[in-house]
Structure 1
């Protein structure tokens, strides 16, 4: 149950009784705040937005509202100037929320926003024949978390790994392989060898300008179905997918589709024909474009002067295919912020083609993963390999287990959960729009605002529940929920559904990550000051609180794509 909704409804009904009908529940919900200190209330409603409507001062409106609001879950209200501060009924809320969590278990926090409709999510999308670098981590883990969140909100997610398996870079790679490649070395170590060839191509191209033209020539041959070019391309693709598969398995991420750019090769002509039929194509220096001056954007390039297609052509074909195939209600593109112009153009072209559903396409940008303050570059070989980072994190977790709890069972599996969880959480705790400085040390810190800290808190709840012994004579006395030490936990547990909704509407998993840190900190503070397992009249209630906290921590971490070991 979301008690914020109780506050919203109480205010709304009070205003309706005064025949103030121009303020919606949404307006009220947006205005409600959580006070900076608990002594100021659990929720606060500033009355400024009502002043121009009611022709009264905000303080006068607050005084009137404060007198008219009553609800079983609201203990009392305090009016402080223009603010109406709401204090929830701790015993009633505590009883309600704990019972609801224990009854629903992992289904606690489920929302029905989506009504089963599909949301396609374009995520990860690494380039084949290149290593899976830390630069691809963000799209992968943000996209996977969003997929879990939309499922929690009642949608059906369709996770699409739109592989970068087409484009001029493959002409360059084929050129490099034919000039300097060694078949046996590539077969023995495909990704590393292909990366070395790719880097060498760009180094040599700075001295020999004809190399770039040769790369374009081989890509054109690939597009035209040249047998040798296709053979090499398929070989590079198969080798890449095998390597990527190991990384996705480590991360615990699966996809519903691996249709990459090449999948749309036979679907682009229909798009170009449709653009022509709708008189949207214009010639510009021999190339074909869709003009977007009315939106103050540069033209969208559809076909180069040499006849080769571009990202936009394939992405138009992909959007049309996905709408036909999945009948999506919304479509998310989890792609870095540097592609913002591309997606603005893409969505506008679809609108000009007459597709109103283009309004439900969303580019979900994120900041860059930086190394020494600079963007990682595959061309220059300045990358950090994700697989190496994951293995280093797992080894660090294994070493920590050996030093702290050497007799722990399933050490390898727990080390994998903790190490991988550390890497994922280091990303997701940051607002997705912020750049992140790569720091292996920061990722692998097992204290503070980290994934291992959350996992350890969850393991602590499991340990308490394993050690608990409840005599039959004990009854559940919920008065313990009124305790100032318990209330911060109860209040946070009551807000889980609210936080999930916020993460969905803002398309930002960090909302859940920060919430879990708050919950863990409050629980550990409680653990440090209260004898939870002491056999007295409050024991059953305390254990119910521990169990409820355990359920929410586990479910919250699952939404982020992080495992939850019961022992650490």
Structure 2
């Protein structure tokens, strides 16, 4: 909000040839590295070549113009320093306006993406395999992005592209027929399926012919063999029950569950389109689309035996999402190891003449390890996501029992804190970095953690209750003169950045931006809170009301921001 105000003040001082709208100007504004430099800064280097003057000279000219126009008893002061135009806001009404705006339920929301439909491909687990800790990244990064896009005015469609087809099912079917236990499969379908899958890979190392048997079993499934299809359907249905249970705990939902099998009857049309366009070429008996001119290896479409492979399935998927779901943008929240695959798929779409391929974006993320160890389904080295959530909740409950034994709804709060700790433990990292997950660190109430943010929110709610904020707010307006001290003003300025932070997170497809910002909000509030007792005996009620309004605004931003990340904000902890 402060940058928007600053842009409206700076814009009239710029010459017409600068061709700068307030919206564009807002995106250029920065926070100075040192507080004494000011509150908002505009780098003038961009204008230097266009206006043929040095950045410092331009900054001085802009500063003189602003100081000459504003003229409101020092409410805004402009200064030039090192090619930067720095603004310092001194008036009380800026503080009142920002805090008042930050109290609104929809504060930070915008209409940047109004009229655009975004389809987000996220989570996408494989049927008959457990949701492991590694699935957390695609699921929660995708969920946060969906919330952020919605908060900036986009229409969002969340799709779970399930891995429910392929030779893996041939392996599972062979393993079940050889070593399966029907009762175990019905009682614990995911655990038993994983056991069978692991055993298949162990046995196939000694008996390679099992791989051929698995391919034959999958071929039966493709041809619609009734018995094989019935077994496949059982694996799918039981897996979905398990998935839904974990998704419910994460408060994640989807608009569509369209697995790979959904596109089976759409693949031939894509192959025909490729052939008609003259793009398919033979290569060692297989059919490929060559992409050398783009610096990419050929994209394999048909194997030697004429069977399709997953690139053509993803081509059919993208075309369906454009034509049937009406996507203006498509995001694929998938691990970085698939970057080449998506480059090829998008390149082939472009060669087919689909100009909208430019709106398809892979949102890659780094590998998640647990205490330094990589997960492997084939080897059975999987950390079940639900087990991690259970342990996190148990640890949170233990801490609550120790510190707040009389807290009502302890189990409900510990669920929110434990699950939130796991989610924030992922999202606080830049998505493209690899993450080594440590549960003990994630559940800590101190440091850069989810529980720290939740506790700060709960602490503010307690403060508002003790101060009878609702009654004071009804009686006294927000008076920015009571928020003039540096810790209070820094907190106000931090809150003013919320809308810009959400826009940045969407622009970069990076929930980490919001997580980092929320930590800054909590730290700035705690600094303000510790700078002086808000509810001091004998304090001026008008001053208390204004300071509590700032606290309420901080709580509002914390709750809203945590919600966008998919994390609850309990009022008591």
Q: TM-score range by the shorter chain?
A: over 0.9
The answer to whether the Cα contact below 8 Å between 1:478 and 1:538 also exists between their aligned partners in 2 is no
CA drift of 1:10 comes to 4.0
**Structure 1, residues 344-393: CA drift from partner, whole Å, max 9, x if none?**
11111111111111111110000110134343111111221100000101
| Partner residue of 2:551 out of 536, 539, 546 | 546
Equivalent residue runs for 1:131-530 within 5 Å: 131-469=130-468, 470=471, 476-530=478-532
**Aligned partners of 1:90 and 1:487 also within 8 Å:** no
- 2:100 paired residue number: 99
Question: Which whole-Å deviations, capped at 9, do the CAs of 1:58-106 have from their partners, x for residues lacking one?
Answer: 222222221112446961022223222111235122111122233xx22
**8 Å Cα contact 1:369-1:438 kept in structure 2:** yes
- Give the Å deviation of 1:198: 1.0
In structure 2, the CA distance between the partners of 1:24 and 1:540, relative to structure 1 (3 Å rule), is: closer
Q: Distance in 1 between matches of 2:64 and 2:213?
A: 80
C-alpha contact (below 8 Å) 2:393/2:414 kept by paired residues: yes
Equivalence for 1:119: 118
Q: CA deviation at 1:143?
A: 0.2
Residues 124 and 161, structure 1, Cα contact 8 Å, conserved in 2 = yes
Q: CA deviation at 1:475?
A: 6.0
* Change in 2 beyond 3 A, CA 1:215/1:491: same
Contact 2:165 2:261 in 1 (8 A): yes
Distance between the aligned counterparts of 2:157 and 2:519, measured in 1?
29
Please, what is the CA RMSD of the aligned residues? 1.9
Tell me the SS of whatever aligns to 2:156: strand
Select between 529-538 and 406-415 the one with higher mean Cα deviation. Answer: 529-538
* 8 A Cα contact 1:90 1:481, kept in partner: no
Per mean C-alpha deviation after superposition, the further-off stretch among 294-303 and 134-143 is 294-303
Q: 1:476 to 1:218 in 2, by over 3 A?
A: closer
In 2: Cα distance, 1:372 partner to 1:521 partner = 28
Decide whether the 8 Å contact of 2:482 with 2:547 is kept in 1.
Answer: yes
Determine the C-alpha separation between the residues in 2 that align with 1:491 and 1:30. 16
Q: Are 1:35 and 2:32 counterparts?
A: yes
1:68 aligns with 2:73: no
Tell me if the contact between 1:343 and 1:363 (Cα under 8 Å) persists in the aligned partners: yes
The 8 Å contact of residues 426 and 451 in structure 1, kept in 2 or not, is answered as: yes
Aligned-pair CA distance for 1:473: 7.2
1:207 CA displacement: 2.4
CA offsets per residue over residues 255-294 of structure 1, 9 Å max, x none? Answer: 1011110111111111112212222222222222211121
Task: Extract unaligned runs of 5+ from structure 1.
Answer: none
**1:333, distance to aligned residue in structure 2 (A):** 0.5
Q: What is the CA deviation profile of residues 396-422 of structure 1, one whole-angstrom value per residue up to 9, with x for unaligned ones?
A: 111111111111111111111100000
CA distance in 1, matches of 2:202, 2:475: 79
The TM-score normalised by the length of structure 1 is 0.95
**Paired residues of 2:160 and 2:254 also in contact (CA < 8 A):** yes
* Conserved 8 A contact 2:478-2:549: no
Change (3 A) 1:475 1:505: closer
Using the size of structure 2 for normalisation, the TM-score is 0.94
1:494 and 1:30 mapped to 2: Cα distance? Answer: 14
> CA contact under 8 A between 1:220 and 1:308: conserved in structure 2?
no
Count residues in correspondence: 563
Does the Cα contact within 8 Å between 1:143 and 1:334 map onto a contact in 2?
yes
Shift of 1:9: 4.3
- Pairing partner for 1:558 from 554, 563, 569: 563
SS at match of 2:418: helix
Specify whether residues 564 and 90 from structure 1 end up closer, same or farther in structure 2 by C-alpha distance, changes over 3 A only: farther
Deviation at 1:476, TM superposition (A): 4.6
In structure 2, relative to structure 1, the CA distance for the partners of 1:383 and 1:475 (3 Å cut) is closer
Relative distance call for 1:28 and 1:476 in structure 2 (3 A) is closer
Q: Which sits farther off after the overlay, 112-121 or 464-473?
A: 464-473
2:487 is paired with a residue whose SS is: coil
Supply the distance in 2 between the matched residues of 1:408 and 1:438 (Cα, whole angstroms).
Answer: 29
- Greater mean deviation of Cα atoms: 541-550 or 332-341: 541-550
Rounded to whole Å, the distance in 1 between the matches of 2:426 and 2:221 is: 37
Q: CA deviation at 1:26?
A: 7.0
Distance 2:110 2:475 in 1: 38
* Alpha carbons of structure 1 residues 492 and 127: separation in structure 2 relative to 1, 3 Å: same
Q: 1:231 to 1:567 in 2, by over 3 A?
A: same
Q: Distance in 2 between matches of 1:473 and 1:262?
A: 62
